[in-house]
Amino acid sequence: MEFNMRPSRVLRRMRAGNVATCVKVNLSDPRNVEIAAMCGFDCVWVDMEHVPTDYSSVENAVRAAKNYDTDVLTRVSKGSYSDYVRPLEGDSTGIMVPHVMSLAEAKKIVYYTKFHPIGRRPIDGGNADGKYCLVEPEDYIKEANEERFVVIQIEDPEPMEELEEICALPGIDMIFFGPADFSQGMGRPYETDLPEIENVRKRIAACARAHGKWAGTVCGPATFDDYVQMGYTFLSCGADVDGLAIYYQNITRNISGRKILQI
C-alpha cells in the first residue's frame, strides 16, 4: 500500500485562485477545533506564542481538524529549530513565526523548516506527518516541501526596510501582516485604522504577490472583501474567545438584575 502526506486544503484553495479562510482558537479543547472545522473554515490557527498550548494540544487539534479536511496552522513560540519543526511533525499543515525582524532571521527559518534542496530541516519521518515512516523517505521530503507552508509575520516597522528581499526569499510561502503590534511599534497601540497602517497593509500584499508569495492578515466580515481586493488570499476572520465573550455578555446583559419571583 502506498502512503502519502495529507495535501493542504489551504494551498489547494489558494492555488486554484480562491481565498482561504481561517479562525484562531485560544482554547485547547479539540472539540472547539472540531466545531470550527465542521462550520467550514479552511484552516484553524492554534497559538503557541501567547497561549500556554502544549504539543499534545496541537496534536489533538490536528486530529480533530483532519476529520473534516481542515488545515491547522500553528503559530510557534520563537526559539530553537525544534520549536519550529515539532508542530510540523505533529502534522500541522503550516507554521507561523511571529515578529520576524530581518532578512537574516527569515533565512534561518527557511533553513530549519524546509528540506533539501531549499533548506536543511532535520529529517525524521517517524511522526504523524510522515505517517510514522509509512511515507517513503524521498516522497516525504518532496511532499513536505510542497504541501506544508511556512508563514512569517511582519508585525513591526523594523523589517520593512528589507521587505522586498524577504518576500523574494525561496522557502517562505506566506507573508502575514499583524496590524496590532505594528501600530504599537509606531507608538500608537491598537490604532489599526491609521493611514500609515493601511499603506503598510497594501504594500505587504503587493510585495508578496509580486514575488509569488501568498499574503495573509486578520480581518472581520466588514473588511473581508476589501482585503481580498487588496490581494490577500489567506484571511483569519475571528477568534473563539471573542465569540464566546460576546455570547456570554449577551446572556448576562439580559438576565442581570432580574428580581426573583416571590411565591
Q: What does residue 62 show for φ and ψ, rounded to 5 degrees?
A: -60, -45
Burial class (CB in 10 A: 0-12, 13-18, 19+), 178: buried
Q: If you average pLDDT over residues 42-62, what whole number do you get? A: 97
- Please give the span between the terminal C-alpha atoms of the chain, in angstroms, as a whole number: 71
Q: What does residue 45 show for φ and ψ, rounded to 5 degrees?
A: -95, 115
Per-residue CA distances from 250 to 147, 220, 225, 241, 246 (Å): 41, 19, 28, 14, 6
What is the torsion angle, in degrees rounded to the nearest 10, for the CA atoms of residue 142, residue 140, residue 25 and residue 40? Answer: 70
pLDDT of residue 70: 98
Digit-coded pLDDT (tens) for 227-248: 999 999 999 999 999 999 999 9
Q: If you average pLDDT over residues 107-135, what whole number do you get? A: 97
Instruction: Give SS3 for 86.
Output: helix
Digit-coded pLDDT (tens) for 152-194: 999 999 999 999 999 999 999 999 999 999 999 999 999 999 9
Least confident residue range of 73-77, 128-132, 256-260:
256-260
pLDDT tier at 80 (50, 70, 90 boundaries)?
A: confident
Q: E strands along the chain, which residues?
A: 20-25, 43-47, 71-75, 94-97, 149-154, 174-177, 214-218, 234-239
Q: If you average pLDDT over residues 129-138, what whole number do you get? A: 96
- Using the predicted structure, report yes or no on whether residue 23 has a pLDDT greater than 70: yes
Three cell numbers, residue 72: 491547522
Query: Which residue is it, cell 507573508?
Result: 175
DSSP for 104-173 reads: HHHHHHHHHHS-TTT--PPP---STTTTTTTB-HHHHHHHHHHH-EEEEEE-SSGGGGGHHHHHT-TT--
Contact indicator for 70, 91 with CB cutoff of 8 Å = no
Mean of the per-residue pLDDT values of the chain: 96
